[in-house]
Amino acid sequence: MELLIITGMSGAGKSQAANILEDMGFYCVDNVPPAIIPSFVELSMHGTQEMVRLAIVTDIRGGDMFDDMPRVLENLKKDNVDYKILFLDAANDVLIRRFKENRRKHPLCERSDISLSEAVNVERGRLSEIRSAADYVLDTGLLSLAELKKRITALFLNEGKKGMSIICRSFGFKYGIDADADLVFDVRCLRNPFYVKELKEKTGKDKEVADYVMDSKESVNFAEKLFAFLDNSFDLYVNEGKSQLVISFGCTGGKHRSVAFAEMLYKHITKLGFKGTVIHRDIGKA
């Protein structure tokens, strides 16, 4: 199990970080008092596959319960629980500005009659010990959300290319374009098995249909250039920090050519080391 503890200054972007990590496959739990962390760890160890990567957000919102953090971390070490700490920070003036812009109250202001600037200073003092113990410290003061995603992806997408999931989809234009796709490729320019009597009722998942679609210089050239373009694009998407890419192929009915290409791409990305899924939206339609 991979355990990541997310903490840091209020207003530094812990919730955004959790959302990014969730897109990367982490099971994320927000606003957890430190004393409850071992219970989540125990649950994940005996839970489902989806909880193999666990990210827990814990911070000053827990009030006095947050003071249990050093003891909890020490107990996790004694129990041989491998964990990492991600601490999000920003300069005091940045944090104060964010609270004013969002018109939110600092957690310490809600419990004590102190100003926002005083609350930030008090919180920084209380978090100094855990900040020193953190494995990763991110200063989000000058980071946009996109830049924050890149930084977090670089830290925790440690499987390299395998960390980006690619969904290979097929669809029929007669039923509407695939609105969920990041990239759409029209393969209606290729030879159509629909007009071959013995192939009409088969699909692009059948070898005979796939062989027919690819049995021409035009199809081979189309596929070679398209996959070369995609290979280059994959590297760019990984560097940009994208965690999921949806690529769709469309033909007339979504049963033959588009299915064959989606299946081909799925085999291709698997060989490259990406996690993949193949979905045929319209394969069962008349």
pLDDT in tens, 123-174: 999 999 999 989 888 999 888 888 888 788 877 865 545 567 898 999 999 9
Calculate mean pLDDT across residues 261-275.
93
Specify the residue for token string 């964990």.
83
Q: Which neighbouring-strand residues pair with 246?
A: 167
**What is the structure's pLDDT at 170?**
96
pLDDT in tens, 117-135: 999 999 999 999 999 989 8
Q: Which of 158, 176, 202 delimits the end of a domain?
A: 158
- If one counts the domains in the chain, the total is 2
pLDDT in tens, 49-87: 557 789 999 999 988 899 899 999 999 999 999 899 999
Residue 129 amino acid letter: E
Instruction: Report which secondary-structure segment, H or E, holds 114.
Output: none
| CA 192 to chain CA mean position, Å | 37
6 plus 125 within the same structural domain: yes
Range of the domain at 229: 162-280
Residue 12, pLDDT > 80, answer yes
Specify the residue for token string 């989000």.
140
In a domain, 75, yes or no: yes
Record the pTM: 0.60
**What is the structure's pLDDT at 160?**
46
203 plus 215 within the same structural domain: yes
